[in-house]
Structure 1
Amino acid sequence: MSTETGTSTAAPTAVDRPAHRDGNVLRWLAAYTASMVGDTVYYVALSWAAVRAGTATEAGLVMSASALPRALLMLGGGVVADRFGPRRVVIGSDAVRCAAVGAVALLLFLTGPGLWPLAVLALVFGTVDAVFMPAVGALPARITGQGQLARVQGMRGLAIRFASITGAPLGGLAVALGGAAAAFALAGLLIAVSVPLLVTVRMREPAPDDTVTREDRGRRTAWRDLLDGLRYVRGHRILGPLMLTIALGDLGFVGPLNVGLTLLADERGWGASGMGWVLAGFGAGAGAVSLLLAVRGRLPHAGRTAGWSLLAGCVAVGALARVPSVIGAVGIAALVGLLAGLSGALCGALLQTHADPAFLGRVTAVSGLVSLGLAPLSMPLTAASIGMWGTGPVFAVSAAVCGLGGVAALGFPGLRRAQLPG
């Protein structure tokens, strides 16, 4: 298995220096933030251009075109990240995404909007995301010490919140001033900013796997690497239960907080503005947890805390459908964001610290497949179920599924006793 090559093998002060004061980590964070803002602008541009070029159904198909290749290729993307090194894969992925978005922007400048280039672009993005996401997940463990990984998770959460807050208005402004072509051009420029920043990030080499000889390593196939990664996750006393916890938590949260919240706002007569305030409450809660982890660095009893957070979060999800007023819903949504953000950040930090760096791309790919492949399937099911039984029963079932994630975290001794270093 090949390893990462770069400007140096390790950041000399990465272990001792707090992540928020480490220039190496901050360069990675700047690159990640620019890429995430560019992604948000891209989705605004894609949705606008698709609506202008076709019917609502056709626009929906274009917007969902990236999901299939991303789900099908995600596990293979983890193998690529581990074989070639996460930084190299992220740089290459961002370069491809930048080139694809730039090509569509140029095409829209020269011609009118059409569905086929948008569909091709969505498929390219989905394919590249399948290798980009596992590589992004494997990067933090290569740029800082294990004791700083919880803080890095908090910083990453803040970057995601910043991208969601700024990216959509930037994309809307670009569309208003220059149409979809200008928005695509802006997205490509933002993604391009990440490349030179990532080139300057210093990487730590993973320890070699002493159980694999050099001759055997040369004969290893991608398929064997994939199977080895799946066996590694399944047999790990923390990572196996952690994947179950993540899957159940995401399945319980995703449906109600996406399509379910829209239908709840319509049922209660809150309107689009009310729904926006509820979403803002959720974002504020999640952002507060990210800030807490970024400043504090770690929380004790991480496995136990993640489990209890999921159990408390499931109660909040169920209560959300029972609140008649917007103000009450905003408060409960903030609590959901706080608890979901806490459990998600701790699960991510536990994954980073307990996975062998040589397997981290594949471990992250399994987690990404759970979150991005399985959880979104609950959204159409949630919508159909609400249409048949109403919001209250469906939110209650979703809350129960989420609660099972907490039970899994607390029920497996290895995960329940898991700690973060530091």
Structure 2
Amino acid sequence: MASLDTARPASARPALPRTYLVWLVGTRASLLGDAVLYFALGWAASDHGGGTGALVLTAITLPRASLLLLGGAVGDRFGARRVMIAGNAVMLTATLALALAGPAQGASPWLLVVVGVVVGTVDAFHLPAAGSVPRRLVGKEQLPRALAVQQAGGQVASLLGAPLGAVLVASAGLTGAALADAGTFAIVLVVLVCLRRTFDVERSSRGERLLAGTVAGVRIAMGNPVLRSALLLTAAAACFLLPVVSLLSPLLAREHGWSAGVAGTVAGGQSLGMIAAALVVSRRGAMSRIGRGAALGLCVAVPGITAIALAGTAAVAVAGAVVVGAGSGMFSCHIGPLVLTRVPDTHLARTQALLVLVQSLALVAGHNALGALADARGAAIATAVCAAGICATGITGLVLKSLNTPL
């Protein structure tokens, strides 16, 4: 494996800015609250059948995907901090309203769909703005470590969110989960108000129309060979890597006669692998050739995917998931800084919006294609296709000249 960038001892590396750490703690708390609410929404929707569950998920994903590019343009025009304050204020209001309406209306399908639409719409504006914050608060040299810490915190929140959501739903219902999420939005609002001056960066021209700004963001990304390659790797990872644990592992578990608990343990193994990779990068730093580090992360995941495809026992599947998580974490910790350091301050949110959109579209395509293949030929064959796809993508990334550049 290529050596990590360890020109300075880890102990000599400057600490991450306090403002970034404060922002990070607040947003990770909000992610935990979101994970709790998402579990509660999914559980409430499942009570009305699969059709309602699919409708609620569509109510979240459709407005999110439709408005992402516009959300990026708004973030660059009006500032990430303002957009995040507005988004958190809307979500605070929405979750409080859900908590009040829950006991009176019950978890009716229309209420769940309305909440889903609000969540998806706010996400379309909030995600690009939040994705640009590390570049606004942290120097370029510290970006890999900053994003690694952010990823580790996000994985911990995801890992704890579902169990905590189950406890809250069992004890306090949808109302309790909504109140918990509302509390985390209040925390983020306080953090954003306190960090006012730290977000002062160059914005896009006030004379630029939002639609023109949206097109300009896509044009800049497509015109930059490094960003083009990064988007290609991101799309491939979303299509072939992310469905391995989210979609194919549960199908494999059913084919082998394993319990739902085993499938959950496999998902937990992936999270642990991602956390471990993120902690290593946060401590040691990223590879000096950061684009190759992202491609190498995909190659690391290949043996894990193969192990899951061929697993005859649950222990092998869990071990494979840990390796997949380590590769995924390595990829994420390198692709994020690669993108953020290649765009001007005026286009940060728009580039993040495009990155999220590419990932979302590729994930939808991957889920549907691999699900159909699993139905026709079995989940093991579909998982093997993922291993081949990620292997080809990783090797391509290693040989692309556009990715063989230092941070």
Which band: TM-score by shorter chain? over 0.9
Compute the TM-score of the two structures, normalised by the length of structure 2: 0.92
Query: CA offsets per residue over residues 20-76 of structure 1, 9 Å max, x none?
Result: xx3211111111111101110110121122233x22321231133211111111111
Determine whether 1:146 maps to 2:147. no
Give the match for residue 418 of structure 1: 405
SS at match of 1:418: coil
Residues in 1 aligned to 2:34 and 2:123: alpha-carbon distance in whole angstroms:
11
Residues in 2 aligned to 1:51 and 1:309: alpha-carbon distance in whole angstroms:
36
**Contact conserved, 1:350 with 1:419, CA < 8 A, in 2?**
no
**Contact conserved, 2:36 with 2:165, CA < 8 A, in 1?**
yes
Residues in 1 aligned to 2:233 and 2:42: alpha-carbon distance in whole angstroms:
33
Give the match for residue 161 of structure 2: 167
Percent identical: 32
- The one-letter code of the counterpart of 1:176 is A
Determine whether 1:373 maps to 2:364. no
SS at match of 1:41: helix
Determine whether 1:199 maps to 2:196. no
Give the match for residue 8 of structure 2: none
In the TM superposition, residue 82 of structure 1 has moved relative to its aligned partner by 0.6
Residues in 2 aligned to 1:274 and 1:166: alpha-carbon distance in whole angstroms:
17
Query: CA offsets per residue over residues 366-413 of structure 1, 9 Å max, x none?
Result: 110012233133223222211111123211222222233323422321
Q: Which moved more, 1:182-191 or 1:124-133?
A: 182-191
Query: CA offsets per residue over residues 104-156 of structure 1, 9 Å max, x none?
Result: 11011233331111101101110110011101110111111111111111111
Give the match for residue 10 of structure 2: none
Corresponding residue to 1:186 among 171, 180, 183: 180
Residues in 1 aligned to 2:154 and 2:188: alpha-carbon distance in whole angstroms:
15
Residues in 2 aligned to 1:268 and 1:310: alpha-carbon distance in whole angstroms:
27
**Contact conserved, 1:250 with 1:375, CA < 8 A, in 2?**
yes
**Contact conserved, 2:297 with 2:331, CA < 8 A, in 1?**
yes
Residues in 1 aligned to 2:74 and 2:27: alpha-carbon distance in whole angstroms:
20
SS at match of 2:288: coil
- Aligned length, in residue pairs: 394
Question: Structure 1 residues 106, 208: CA separation in 2 closer, same or farther (over 3 Å shift)?
Answer: closer
**Contact conserved, 2:76 with 2:203, CA < 8 A, in 1?**
no
Give the match for residue 134 of structure 1: 128
Give the match for residue 317 of structure 1: 305
Question: Structure 1 residues 325, 206: CA separation in 2 closer, same or farther (over 3 Å shift)?
Answer: same
Give the match for residue 40 of structure 1: 35
Corresponding residue to 1:57 among 32, 51, 55: 51
List, as ranges, runs of 4+ consecutive aligned residues in structure 1 with deviation greater than 3 Å. 204-209
- The one-letter code of the counterpart of 1:308 is L
Determine whether 1:405 maps to 2:393. yes
**Contact conserved, 2:59 with 2:116, CA < 8 A, in 1?**
yes
**Contact conserved, 1:98 with 1:188, CA < 8 A, in 2?**
yes
Give the match for residue 103 of structure 2: 109
Give the match for residue 26 of structure 2: 31
Corresponding residue to 1:18 among 15, 20, 23: 15
**Contact conserved, 2:156 with 2:275, CA < 8 A, in 1?**
no
Residues in 2 aligned to 1:394 and 1:419: alpha-carbon distance in whole angstroms:
35
Give the match for residue 258 of structure 2: 270
**Contact conserved, 2:298 with 2:331, CA < 8 A, in 1?**
yes
Determine whether 1:120 maps to 2:114. yes
Give the match for residue 347 of structure 2: 359
Q: What RMSD over aligned residues (CA atoms) do the two structures have, in Å?
A: 1.8
Q: Which moved more, 1:182-191 or 1:32-41?
A: 182-191
SS at match of 1:101: helix
